[in-house]
Amino acid sequence: MTSEAMLERRYRQLLRLYPREHRREYEEEMIGVLLAGVAPGRTRPGPREVLDLVTSALTVRWSRRAHSSGDGHRAARAVQLFGAILLLAVSLRRVVMGEVAALRYADFVPHVAAHELVRPGAWALVLLLVLAGWRWAAVPAALAGLIAEVPPLALYRDTPARVLDVYWILVAAAVVTLAGLLVATAGRGRPAGEGRLPRGTAAVVSGGLLVVAGGAGSVLVGGSGLLLGGRLVPFPVLALYAVAGLLVVVGVLRLPPPVVRRVVVAAVPVVVAWPLIRVGFGDLVATNMRSAEPALLGPVQWTALAVVPLAATWVAATLNRRFERSRTGSPSV
């Protein structure tokens, strides 16, 4: 088999991630574009091509479901609303920690960078726009919140662990931004019930308030705890975060079951990101803590950061689709 034939076969394997109807219409055209100008001897797609194809395939699948299914639209709206609430809480927690430390310790001067203030401002704006029903205006506001999470990447060469610390938040912000885009492009008319808040919103808001309170508690409460994200989190504060997480789960479970399943699928990349960093990159973080010379991420590690959450989402979406097909006797949309 020639190198070009091997490369084409691997491209076609990646294109199987797209819906069957999409492949039937565009596969040959996409193969032609992908193979055009390929250097002689190449047998594998590059990491960036893999990421682009996987991301595009998942976007096409999710977009079709959100547009063609009332449950899909309601799930996207719940992800946008609940996600904005929780991202606002996380961003406020970081600001509150500095302010409480300044009040408690006279010699402590909090350094609040500009992007630290942009984050809560952007997510608060997203929340207000969502509640007002301004779909398209909420998209650039969410994008601003996503971009505001990026500045720590500027410190990558000095402290690579900073990239890993904020990775799950970046993934969450990207999911919320994409959900908002799907809501905005779902059509002009409002589906029935869109003017009302989703069931479970109060529980999610309560969980967000506990997250903010946990930021203050991290400074005020002493004693033993666990080291998370480079900070010692006391056990009472961990218990507070556990209750916050439980409230969020309760809030999601109050949604209709088909919507719950779609929200869970959307949450998979965020849920996978945290253990991926702790388990898969623990040695790299430990090395950087011991060594004066930073150890940077390699191409395989960057690829894992991009592909693993996307692949997990695709698996979850596939399982959900098969489950719904088994219940209804026809493919889910």
Q: 168-186 pLDDT, tens per residue?
A: 999 999 999 999 998 888 7
CA distance 282 to 302: 15
Residue 173 is predicted with a pLDDT of: 96
pLDDT of residue 178: 92
d(CA 179, CA 175): 6
Highest mean predicted confidence (pLDDT) among 100-104, 192-196, 288-292: 100-104
- What is the arithmetic mean of pLDDT over 272-284? 77
The model's pTM is 0.76
Which of 90-99, 214-223, 261-270 shows the lowest per-residue confidence on average (mean pLDDT)? 214-223
| Whether the predicted pLDDT of 300 surpasses 60 | yes
* pLDDT for 17 beyond 60: yes
Confidence label for 156 from pLDDT (cuts 50, 70 and 90): low
Model confidence over 192-233: pLDDT tens digits?
Answer: 455 688 999 999 999 999 999 998 888 888 777 776 656 678
Count structural domains, the chain. Answer: 1
Q: Does pLDDT of 332 surpass 80?
A: no
pLDDT above 70 as % of the chain: 82
Mean pLDDT of the chain: 83
In this predicted structure, the answer to whether residue 331 has a pLDDT above a threshold of 50 is no
Give the per-residue pLDDT at 59: 75
Query: Confidence band (pLDDT; 50, 70, 90) for 282?
Result: low
* Statement: residue 285 has pLDDT above 90: no
Per-residue pLDDT at 122 exceeds 50: yes
102 domain-assigned: yes
Q: Is residue 19 part of a domain?
A: no
Q: What are 168-174's contacts with CB under 8 Å, separation 24+?
A: 168/270, 168/273, 168/274, 168/277, 169/87, 169/90, 170/146, 171/269, 171/270, 171/273, 171/309, 172/83, 172/86, 172/87, 172/270, 173/87, 173/142, 173/145, 173/146, 173/149, 174/146
| Residue 119 counted as domain residue | yes
- pLDDT at residue 266, as a whole number: 95
How does residue 279 score in pLDDT terms, banded at 50, 70 and 90? confident
Six-digit token string for 207: 């969980």
pLDDT value at residue 192 = 46
Q: Give the mean pLDDT of 60-67.
A: 64
In a domain, 194, yes or no: yes
Query: Is 14 domain-assigned?
Result: no
Evaluate whether residue 150 is within a structural domain.
Answer: yes
The 3-class secondary structure across the chain, one letter per residue, is CCHHHHHHHHHHHHHCCCCHHHHHHHHHHHHHHHHCCCCCCCCCCCHHHHHHHHHHHHHHHHHHHHHHCHHHHHHHHHHHHHHHHHHHHHHHHHHHHHHHHHHHCCCCCCCCCHHHHHHHHHHHHHHHHHHHCCHHHHHHHHHHHHHHCCHHHHHCCCCCHHHHHHHHHHHHHHHHHHHHHHHHCCCCCCCCCCCCCCCCHHHHHHHHHHHHHHHHHHHHCCCCEEEECCEEEEHHHHHHHHHHHHHHHHHHHCCCHHHHHHHHHHHHHHHHHHHHHHHHCHHHHHHHHHCCCCCCCCHHHHHHHHHHHHHHHHHHHHHHHHHHHHHHCCCCC
Give the phi and the psi of residue 225 in degrees, each rounded to 5: -175, -160
Burial class, 10, CB count within 10 angstroms (exposed 0-12 / middle 13-18 / buried 19+): middle
**What band does 60 get if pLDDT is binned at 50, 70 and 90?**
confident
Domain of 171 in residue numbering reads as 46-328
User: What is the pLDDT, as a whole number, of residue 150?
Assistant: 78
| More confidently predicted of 140 and 43 | 140
Task: Please indicate, yes or no, if residue 10 is contained in any of the structural domains.
Answer: no
What pLDDT, on the 0 to 100 scale, is given for residue 291? Answer: 64
Residue 90 located in a structural domain = yes
Q: What is the pLDDT of residue 164?
A: 78
Instruction: State residue 152's pLDDT score.
Output: 57
178, 59 contact by CB (below 8 A) = yes
